[in-house]
DNA sequence: TTGTACGCGTTATCAG
DNA sequence: CTGATAACGCGTACAA
């Protein structure tokens, strides 16, 4: 391995000077040139591990998400990455599987690996980022707030999204509108359902909301199972609000299975349907600014990393009801 | 920060002993107990950076993929992750955007960050992993071979997949079957197209293959544009083989746009359509074992990491034609 | 401005 | 089986 000493020797300067050149401290032009040339010919690459040990922190930020296979989170990751790498940070993507134990593992890695900061979509339940905070590391929660956390947060306006999705169905003439959402220890799931409930009670104060609310997981399977369940009711709903993209896919598949596709049974989805194939009937979607939420979180984190002491903030991003699905 | 010295002091042993206990070397039971207790009450977490600097390598594996938003690669990532973490390694997911410069950056990070090994889907063009190999680091190529590389490789049987997709369309009665594939410096794109061409010429030796072959990017946009292009021909194809999932989605959307959906114009897709909504007409798919390819690559890497000197190998995994798309 | 020398936290070597 | 000590590669006081 070629070290800073090798470069120093070849350039006939001290290791300290090499270090200074590489870090943009003031060095006489001629020496700097010698150093750069030596570094170049030796193909010297600074050892990040040593640098990190010395500096006490690396230029890496961790992004912890519950599911790499959910397009919402990969889009979010893109947003984070674009902003982060622009600022010279690289990204470590960690998959918590919505599991607190795995999440803790990754948090430990972030700590013991001296990572600069962490952007986290907290796993279902009570995420604990106190150790990070205690070490003075920057933390930003995204998509979901962290339970007892005193951390910057970026979320969607989930209640509104649920409300909007419900409204569009109501206006299309549906009256018994159910809701399939995620686990009730996942905040966006709860909030979107609350938006739906508020909308329904607003339209019809006698609507038996609890009867038409289902909690599944935030995956296609959950959407499918819950939809089948709803369709088997004595008085099945005539439409459904799917609280996320994958639930939407699952629900529509269940509808196909039961032979009651839109517009027979209506559906509106919160969160864009990824890679949607053209579908017989247009499906209203409350499009969430997924990439944007990541960029926003990244900017806040970078701000903290550069020493900002502004008070802890929460940013709420609004979704947008898209005209019935285009190509 | 609580260090190994703090633990040693509290347990009244030497730092060396603490290290030994934590790394499972033989230590007298009583001392070990004291150490563990001390570490526990002090909430000691070993510093990975220092450990890595000393050991000259970390327990981290880098996975470099061209597109986090392509479900094929996220599924692959899952496969890698499952196997890796089982063996005590954590995964760093890196997004190259199919860009050689970004890829090189991540390769540099892998080197300078002392990562244990790299699993890479080489970017389009000529990836260069020589520096890694020169440093004796383990490297496994997956999905695509690395240009001049002498590295273990795991790929799909792409030619066969292309062939199978074509055959199923031919057997369904289509005769002028086009092919939309990826960039011609991406191996799987080329191989799948070759499979298609071989199949068509086998069925009809006068088939003007070049006329009906299109190269787009491996994304929905490419599929859509190329499909529209095909449909505008004087003698448009009556069916098309989409060489990957996203191209398939794009092509079908183009068909919808042009009002000639299956079965009017036929389509078969190589690679599973993610989150597919139920579609009027069943779409034949050559399902690729995406997760499996990742697991296989990870196992090979782990094998190398544990010192295996077996000759460089290439594993070819076969896809499977699924009966027209289920739920 | 430049060089010398030390320390970041850990593991490995070498005596005992 | 245990302890003292020397690295790992870098950045930075401190001295020149």
pLDDT tens readout for residues A68-120: 999 999 999 999 999 999 999 988 898 999 999 999 988 988 898 899 999 99
Q: How confident is the model at residue B40 (pLDDT cuts 50, 70, 90)?
A: very high
Provide the phi-psi class of B270: left if phi over 0, else alpha when psi is between -120 and 50, else beta: beta
Closest residue to C13 by CA to C1' distance?
B16
Contacts of A249 in chain B (CB under 8 A): 275-277
Q: Does the CB of B306 fall within 7 Å of any strand D atom?
A: no
Q: What is the dihedral of CA B51, B56, B62, B64, to 10 degrees?
A: 150
Do residues A197 and A213 make contact, with C-beta atoms less than 8 angstroms apart?
yes
**What whole-number distance in Å separates Cα of residue A199 and Cα of residue A204?**
9
pLDDT tens readout for residues B182-211: 999 999 999 999 999 999 999 999 999 999
Residues 6+ apart with CB under 8 A from B119: B61, B62, B63, B64, B80, B139, B140, B141, B142, B294, B297, B298, B301
Quick one: pLDDT at residue B156? Answer: 98
The reply to whether A158-287 shares the fold of A57-156+290-326 is yes
Q: How confident is the model at residue A327 (pLDDT cuts 50, 70, 90)?
A: very low
**What whole-number distance in Å separates Cα of residue A196 and Cα of residue A168?**
11
Query: The domain at B158-287 falls in which architecture?
Result: 3-Layer(aba) Sandwich (3.40)
CA atoms within 13 A on the CB side of B201: 10
User: How many CB atoms within 10 Å of residue B29?
Assistant: 8
Q: How confident is the model at residue A276 (pLDDT cuts 50, 70, 90)?
A: confident
Q: Output the six-digit token pair for B87.
A: 């063996």
- CB contact under 8 Å between A71 and B275, yes or no, is yes
Strand A152-156 with A314-317, pairing:
parallel
- The shortest CB-CB distance from A112 to any of B48, B253, B279 is to B48
Q: What is the 3-state secondary structure (H, E, C) of A187-226?
A: HHHHHHHHHHHHHHHHHCCCCCHHHHEEECCCCHHHHHHH
Enumerate the nucleotides of strand D whose atoms come under 7 Å of any protein CB.
1-5, 7-13
Compare all CA atoms of chain B with the CA of A55 and give the residue at the minimum distance: B49
**What whole-number distance in Å separates Cα of residue B240 and Cα of residue B265?**
8
**Beta sheet of B314-317, edge-to-edge order:** A314-317, A152-156, A138-142, A117-120, A60-65, A90-95, B90-95, B60-65, B117-120, B138-142, B152-156, B314-317
Q: Which fold has domain B57-156+290-326?
A: Rossmann fold (3.40.50)
**Domain boundaries, given as residue ranges, for chain B:** 4-46, 57-156+290-326, 158-287
- CB contact under 8 Å between B114 and A274, yes or no, is no
pLDDT tens readout for residues A10-30: 999 999 999 999 999 999 999
Q: Output the six-digit token pair for B98.
A: 């199919």
Query: Of the segments A132-136, A258-262, B270-274, which one has the largest average pLDDT value?
Result: A258-262
**Beta sheet of B177-181, edge-to-edge order:** B213-215, B177-181, B239-242, B266-270, B285-287, B320-322
Quick one: pLDDT at residue A278? Answer: 75
Strand A213-215 with A177-181, pairing:
parallel
In chain B, what percentage of residues exceed pLDDT 70?
98
**What whole-number distance in Å separates Cα of residue B15 and Cα of residue A217?**
47
B76, B144, B196, B257 from B150: Cα distances, Å:
22, 13, 29, 46
Q: Does the CB of A29 fall within 7 Å of any strand C atom?
A: no
In chain B, what percentage of residues exceed pLDDT 90?
84
DSSP A117-129: EEEE-PPSS----
Q: Which long-range contacts (CB under 8 A, 24 or more apart) does B285-289 make?
A: B285/B321, B285/B322, B285/B325, B286/B161, B286/B164, B286/B165, B286/B319, B286/B320, B286/B321, B286/B322, B287/B319, B287/B320, B287/B321, B287/B322, B288/B72, B288/B156, B288/B161, B288/B317, B288/B319, B289/B156, B289/B317, B289/B318, B289/B319, B289/B320
Q: How confident is the model at residue B323 (pLDDT cuts 50, 70, 90)?
A: low
**Whether residue B327 has pLDDT greater than 50:** no
What's the whole-number mean pLDDT along residues A257-274? 92
**What whole-number distance in Å separates Cα of residue A13 and Cα of residue B127?**
35
Q: Does the CB of B26 fall within 7 Å of any strand D atom?
A: yes
In DSSP terms, which residues pair with B286 in a beta bridge?
B270, B321
**Nearest CA to A288 among A191, A198, A215, A213?**
A191
- CB contact under 8 Å between A77 and B68, yes or no, is yes
Q: Output the six-digit token pair for A94.
A: 């960690």
Quick one: pLDDT at residue B254? Answer: 95
**Nearest CA to B195 among B319, B71, B325?**
B319
Å from the A48 CA to the D13 C1':
22
Closest residue to D2 by CA to C1' distance?
B17
Q: Output the six-digit token pair for A10.
A: 């070849």
Substitution target from A275, A276, A281, A324 for chain B, most B beta carbons within 10 A: A275
SS3 content of chain B, % helix, strand, coil (to 5): 45, 15, 40
CB-neighbour burial class of residue A237 (10 A; exposed 0-12, middle 13-18, buried 19+): buried
Substitution target from A22, A47, A48, A49 for chain B, most B beta carbons within 10 A: A49
Å from the B103 CA to the D14 C1':
41
- The shortest CB-CB distance from A278 to any of B109, B114, B252 is to B252
Quick one: pLDDT at residue A323? Answer: 63
CB-neighbour burial class of residue A228 (10 A; exposed 0-12, middle 13-18, buried 19+): middle
Q: Does the CB of A13 fall within 7 Å of any strand C atom?
A: yes
Compare all CA atoms of chain A with the CA of B247 and give the residue at the minimum distance: A275
**What whole-number distance in Å separates Cα of residue B85 and Cα of residue B75?**
15
Q: How confident is the model at residue A166 (pLDDT cuts 50, 70, 90)?
A: very high
Handedness of CA A93, A94, A95, A96 (dihedral sign): negative
**Whether residue B149 has pLDDT greater than 80:** no
Substitution target from B39, B48, B246, B326 for chain A, most A beta carbons within 10 A: B48
Based on C-alpha coordinates, what's the Rg of chain B?
Answer: 25
- CB contact under 8 Å between A253 and B74, yes or no, is no
């Amino acid at each position: 391995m070629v070290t800073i000493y090798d470069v120093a020797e070849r350039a006939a300067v001290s290791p300290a000077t090499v270090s200074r050149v590489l870090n943009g401290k003031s060095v006489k032009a001629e020496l700097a040139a010698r150093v750069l040339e030596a570094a170049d010919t030796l193909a010297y690459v600074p050892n990040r591990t040593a640098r990190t040990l010395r500096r006490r922190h690396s230029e890496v930020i961790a992004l912890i998400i519950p599911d790499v296979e959910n397009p919402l989170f990969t889009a979010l990751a893109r947003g984070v990455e674009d902003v982060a790498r622009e600022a010279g940070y690289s990204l470590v993507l960690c998959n918590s599987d919505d599991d607190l134990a795995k999440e803790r593992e990754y948090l430990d890695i972030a700590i013991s690996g001296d990572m600069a900061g962490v952007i986290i979509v907290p796993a279902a339940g009570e995420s604990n980022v106190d150790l990070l905070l205690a070490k003075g590391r920057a933390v930003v929660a995204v998509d979901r707030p962290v339970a007892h956390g005193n951390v910057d947060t970026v979320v969607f306006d989930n209640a509104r999204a649920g409300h909007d999705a419900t409204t569009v169905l109501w206006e299309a003439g549906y009256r018994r509108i159910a809701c399939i959402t995620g686990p009730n220890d996942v905040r966006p799931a709860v909030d979107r359902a609350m938006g739906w409930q508020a909308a329904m009670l607003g339209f019809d104060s006698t609507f038996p909301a609890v009867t038409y609310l289902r909690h599944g997981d935030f995956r296609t399977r959950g959407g499918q199972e819950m939809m089948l369940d709803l369709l088997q009711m004595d008085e099945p709903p005539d439409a459904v609000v799917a609280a996320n993209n994958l639930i939407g896919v699952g629900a529509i598949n269940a509808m196909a299975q039961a032979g009651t596709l839109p517009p027979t049974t209506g559906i509106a989805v919160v969160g864009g349907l990824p890679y949607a194939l053209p579908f017989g009937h247009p499906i209203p979607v409350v499009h969430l600014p997924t990439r944007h939420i990541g960029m926003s979180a990244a900017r806040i984190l970078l701000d903290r990393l550069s020493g900002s002491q502004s008070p802890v903030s929460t940013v709420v991003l609004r979704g947008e009801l898209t005209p019935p699905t285009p190509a």
